Amino acid sequence: MLTQTITEPSSSQSFTDVNGLQIVGSTVSDKDWDQHVGGGHLRADLSQLNDRDTSAAITFQWYADDLAISGATTSDLILEDYNISPETIYLLASYSTLSGEQVTVTSPTLEQGDWRIFSGGEDGTIAGSNPAPFMETYSFSNSSRTHNGDGWYEDRILASDTHSITSVGAAEVGLSAIEGDSIIRIAATDGSKRSELGNRNWNTRLQENHDLYFAESLYLPKEEWDVVTQYSTLIFQHKQYPGADPNFEVRLSNEGDYKLFVQSPYGHYGLTGDKHNDHTIATLSPDTWHDLKIHLTPSQDDSLGQVTIYLDGETIFSETGTNLNDRDNTNDSFLKLGMYTNIEDSRHYYVDSVEMSTFIRSTVSDWAAGAGSENTDLQTPSSVNISIADLAPTGLALEFVALNTSSKIANAVNGTFDFSNLDTFSHIVLESSAYIPDISISDVVSSLKHIVGLSTLEGAALHAADVDNDDTVAIADVISQLKHIVGLETLNTFDLVDPTGRRLTEITESRTDVKMVLNGDVDLSTALNSEYVYL
């Protein structure tokens, strides 16, 4: 059993999720074909905490299955060090903003098998802070074989003047970065066939029937891409290992017209044509940042395999159908971005906010609508602050019960919960072990006084007295209280009440403070058991 250890925040600390705390790395702990152990290593990605005071200390707490991992209070989490294999993992980080406010943010929740790699060229590197970094691939021939070195994927053909992928300061080349101060330059000259980044790592391979999300912002300089060339340029591909042709590819026209087209040499998604104007999906603009996102589900099942491509928030291609080949390893496909073609002249373009991940922190539609990954409002789950008897809950499952649809669960963590997937609801139910119900004769007396006009209940107290939620405190509510006290009935439903005293049946605005009150407990004395209290 994991031990929950939580430090007490300062009085100026607030809890929010408007900032984009993310995680890079992989939950997968596995071996490659040469028995090199890897994975199971996660790290905090702070690149989207744009308002952070970098001179002030930042504190971390990792959680496994909603319990704080004792001692896991640094930016890295190596699962093997704690001898755990949890089903879910997330991270809390507390930091100071530039205005001096102390803020706590929550990462998205990862499940077993999840991984994410991300780079914007910050810190002068492509790998950045990724524990499982992108694989750079260069070649002078059509071969992309990179497994002949000391490790399974170690490329013996290295970056050179002929081909390179480098981090550059955006201002140095007269551009503004989508995120941070740096961008990534992908370049090649005559004689190169390949200058690409990919996820070719044992711990970040694509699993069949699992969703994969790819994102990048790309910028094509007009002086180079206006030129008509002999060959089109492959800028994205989904492949299997071992294999030759891509299962699916996105290409840029060689006619200087900035048209994007798609192909599949294996005929996936019904793409049987081999000319760029057979399946044109969009036209880019030169000297402009474009936001490209791809949602892919690899599968040999016609009903499960799919790919959807978004450009600047709009869907430009969407097809379903098998996209894996029978003769290859269906649990070992991978992605690449960059340039692959017969490069006959000097070419380069820029990318930023490059991401490959098995998870996103929002709905797919909101993820697709974001302008690059700089839009942290779209990528961050909406959350509210919640309390019960002036205590902030943590590690607490909230069951939102609806009248006509199935219940939904939201987890309260350090006084907040994500409401983005909730529908309308009538009330909340908690596990009985999480709280101590305190409905007594004094609550019955308060209800009776309100009924006969000797006193007036308002706000949370009024909703607590209205046990059956019919908007009236009546004798029927008092009878329910009395039955609970003598053990003939159990009151275990909670209402959510906002700061104005209104009972909520739907949450539509983020960062709202709400109270949770047990129906029947008029003096609001019901409290959480200590293990569920965020101190």
Q: Distance between CA 396 and CA 72 in Å, rounded?
A: 20
What pLDDT, on a 0 to 100 scale, did the predictor assign at position 202? 77
Tokens for 505, please give them. Answer: 């049946």
Please give the mean pLDDT across all residues of the chain: 84
- Supply the pLDDT for residue 430: 92
Is residue 8 assigned to a domain? no
pLDDT of residue 274: 63
Average confidence (pLDDT) over 127-142? 81
Residue 251 has pLDDT above 60, yes or no: yes
The answer, yes or no, to whether residue 2 has pLDDT greater than 70, is: no
Does position 360 have pLDDT exceeding 60, yes or no? yes
Q: Are residue 330 and residue 441 in the same domain, yes or no?
A: no
Does residue 61 lie within any of the structural domains? yes
Q: Are 86 and 65 in contact (CB under 8 A)?
A: yes
Highest mean pLDDT among 4-18, 109-123, 328-342: 109-123
What is the length of the chain? 535
Q: How far is CA 224 from CA 65, 220, 229, in A?
A: 51, 8, 10
Least confident of 53-67, 128-142, 346-360: 128-142
Q: Based on the domain organization, do 373 and 397 belong to the same domain?
A: no
Q: Which of 260, 237, 264, 235 is closest to 322 using CA atoms? A: 264
Say if 7 falls within a structural domain: no
pLDDT in tens, 496-518: 998 888 899 988 765 568 999 99
Inside any domain, residue 6: no
Give the rounded percent of residues in the chain with a pLDDT score beyond 90: 51
Stretch among 102-111, 256-265, 294-303 having the lowest mean pLDDT: 102-111
pLDDT band at 490 (very low <50, low <70, confident <90, very high): very high
User: Domain ends where: 379, 412, 445?
Assistant: 379
Number of domains the chain contains = 3
Please check whether residue 72 lies inside any domain of the structure: yes
* pLDDT band at residue 99 under the 50/70/90 scheme: confident
DSSP codes, 449-482:
HHHHTSS---HHHHHHH-TT-SS---HHHHHHHH
Of 383, 384, 386, the residue nearest 515 (C-alpha): 386
Report if pTM > 0.75.
no
Report the largest interatomic distance among the alpha carbons of the chain, rounded to a whole angstrom: 92
Residue 1, domain member (yes or no): no
Residues 240 and 370 in one domain: yes
Instruction: Tell me the C-alpha to C-alpha distance, in Å, between residue 225 and each of 134, 149, 347, 349.
Output: 26, 35, 8, 9
Same-domain status, 360 and 272: yes
Whether residue 213 has pLDDT greater than 90 = yes
> pLDDT band at 83, cuts 50/70/90?
confident
Contact 500, 371 (CB under 8 A): no
Last residue of a domain, one of 379, 409, 439: 379
For residue 17, is pLDDT > 60? no
pLDDT bucket at 148, cuts 50 / 70 / 90: very low
Banded model confidence at residue 173, pLDDT cuts 50, 70, 90? very high
Q: Is the pLDDT of residue 200 over 80?
A: no
CB-count exposure of residue 24 (10 Å: 0-12, 13-18, 19+) = buried
pLDDT at 373 over 60: no
| CATH code of the domain in which 319 resides | 2.60.120.200
The reported pLDDT for the residue numbered 383 is 66
Q: Is residue 437 part of a domain?
A: yes
Please indicate, yes or no, whether residues 142 and 178 belong to a single structural domain of this protein.
yes
139 with 155, same domain? yes
The DSSP code sequence of 310-366 is: EETTEEEEEEES--S-TTS-TT-EEEEEEEES---S-EEEEEEEEEEES--SS-HHH
CA distance linking residue 130 with residue 23, whole number of Å: 9
78 found inside a domain: yes
Q: Are residues 222 and 269 in the same domain?
A: yes
DSSP 211-276: -EEEEEEEE--HHHHSS--SS-EEEEEEEESS-SS-SEEEEE-SSSS-EEEEE-TT-GGG----SG
Residues 347 and 237 in one domain: yes
Least confident span in 68-82, 95-109, 478-492 = 95-109
- Regarding whether 294 and 193 lie in a shared domain, the answer is yes
Mean pLDDT over 73-84 rounds to: 91
Looking at residue 88, its pLDDT comes to 92
Q: Is the same domain home to 400 and 345?
A: no
Is residue 12's pLDDT more than 50?
A: no
pLDDT at 404 exceeding the cut of 90: no
| Boundaries of domain holding 27 | 13-107
Q: What is the pLDDT of residue 170?
A: 92
Q: Which residues, at least 6 apart from 87, have a Cβ–Cβ distance to it below 8 Å?
A: 65, 111, 112
Q: Which of 379, 397, 426 is the last residue of a domain?
A: 379
Of 32-46, 118-132, 385-399, 416-430, minimum mean pLDDT range: 32-46
Name residues whose C-beta falls within 8 Å of residue 139's C-beta, 6 or more positions apart in sequence: 157, 192, 193, 194
pLDDT for 531: 87
pLDDT band of residue 135 (cuts 50, 70, 90) is confident
- Dist. CA 391–CA 520, nearest whole Å: 19
Give the per-residue pLDDT at 264. 92
Domain identity same for 270 and 328: yes
pLDDT digits (tens, 9 = 90+) for 237-246: 999 876 678 9
Asked whether the predicted pLDDT for residue 15 surpasses 70, the reply is: no
CA gap 314, 328 in Å, rounded: 33
What pLDDT, on the 0 to 100 scale, is given for residue 150? 35
Within this chain, do residues 81 and 130 fall inside the same structural domain, yes or no? no
pLDDT for 31 equals 61
Q: Which residue pairs, CB below 8 angstroms and at least 24 apart, start in 29-38?
A: 29/79, 29/80, 29/203, 30/202, 30/203, 31/202, 32/151, 32/152, 32/153, 32/202, 33/147, 33/152, 33/202, 34/151, 34/152, 36/151, 36/152, 36/202, 38/132, 38/201, 38/202, 38/203
Q: Is the dihedral of CA 122, 237, 244, 328 positive or negative?
A: positive
Rounded CA-CA distance 354/235 in Å is: 13
Identify the pLDDT of residue 509: 61
The C-alpha atoms of residue 73 and residue 88 are separated, in whole angstroms, by: 17
CATH code of residue 54: 2.60.40
Confidence class for position 263, pLDDT limits 50, 70, 90 = very high
Q: What is the pLDDT of residue 273?
A: 63
